[in-house]
Amino acid sequence: MRNFLKIGLIVFALAIFLIPFGASAALDLPYWGPLAVDCAGGICKSLCQLLLLAENLINFGLTILLFAIAPILLTWGGFVILTAGGSSERLGSGRKILFGTVIGVAIALGAYLIIGTFLWGLGIIAGEGEGKINWPNVSCSAGTPPVVTTPQNPDVVPGGGGTGDGDVLPPVGSGNTDENIRQALMAVGISIVSSGNCNDINDPTCTSLQGLPWSVVDGLIAMKNACIGCNLIVTGGTEVGHQTHGPGKARVDIDNTPTVNQYVYSKIGTDFPIANTWYTGDDGINYYWEVDHWHLCFEHRASCYQ
């Protein structure tokens, strides 16, 4: 009986510590979300998007199994063995819980390996162009998209119908109008929304881009180009009602959509940002996490506090 007790305790100790950490080293775990995938129109139509959704669900399921269910069962099995006393029945029950949990985890990881091998061998992402499936890190990129940049001259709007690179606008200082900036952002798929569905700079329920520096436009477009498939939505600009926003200040608010969150996490080096905390990304953007949205500052970090 003592030998069984020792064996059970050894298996329990090794499993409870090695299973989660071993899985973390081999897989991108723990993964707590997001589960949803941003798709155009809210409907996922390509195989790649479905695979990305499946990857999120599988990783989340493995996280629950390895970091919640398995430790609880292993702890319970060890407790049953430790408190078995002279009861061979309780000792047997404890051993069954321990070995059953370890076997269950092994089956789950084995199934994951088989599925991953199949998907890797498949090698084609339908609907997104040809390319290898980078399992378990599915990417729905079909190659590098054309990079769209804004002109350095603040008095020229990209895509104008006139001659040269764009239409010449009114004198210096009036080029960064709400209309011009809005057109430049929307041209590359960046949305601008507001609770009041308006753009009046004097109304706090509006989202105004009047007087927003073109450096912000450049930065947002660069972010859109880098964040493949991101649903980038500007929710705050130069309108009144913000402590640090305003004309001439390189700051905006963006919605915290799942894909944007994943992109920002990769830039700031953490998947668990602290509320009301500044982070400087490796892309040079200063990010401030306000839980329900991201505040972006395209200036020197010290200037962002003012």
pLDDT value, residue 254 = 95
201 and 113 in a common domain:
no
Go through 278-296 and write b for each residue having 16 or more CB atoms within 10 A of its CB, e for each that does not. bbebebebbbbbeeebbbb
Whether 141 is in a domain gets the answer: no
- Please give the tally of structural domains in the chain: 2
Q: Of the candidates 76, 97, 122, which is a domain's last residue?
A: 122
The SS3 of residue 279 is strand
Task: Output the CA torsion 98→100→106→112 (10° steps).
Answer: -130
What pairing do the DSSP bridges indicate for beta strands 233-236 and 191-192? Answer: parallel
Whether 168 is in a domain gets the answer: yes
| Residue that the structure tokens 């804004």 belong to | 150
Whether 146 is in a domain gets the answer: no
Give the chain's residues under pLDDT 70: 1-29, 37-49, 119-174
174 and 101 in a common domain:
no
Whether 131 is in a domain gets the answer: no
289 and 179 in a common domain:
yes
238 and 116 in a common domain:
no
pLDDT of 206-243, one tens digit each?
Answer: 999 999 999 999 999 999 999 888 889 999 999 998 88
Task: Count the Cβ atoms, other than its own, within 10 Å of residue 65.
Answer: 21
93 and 178 in a common domain:
no
196 and 60 in a common domain:
no
217 and 88 in a common domain:
no
Whether 255 is in a domain gets the answer: yes
231 and 179 in a common domain:
yes
Whether 144 is in a domain gets the answer: no
pLDDT value, residue 11 = 54
pLDDT value, residue 126 = 38
178 and 53 in a common domain:
no
Cα–Cα distance, 115 to 136 (Å, whole number): 10
Give 289's strand partners: 277, 294
Q: Of the candidates 101, 122, 143, which is a domain's last residue?
A: 122
Whether 212 is in a domain gets the answer: yes
74 and 12 in a common domain:
yes
pLDDT value, residue 89 = 86
Domain of residue 8, residue span:
2-122
276 and 176 in a common domain:
yes
280 and 167 in a common domain:
yes
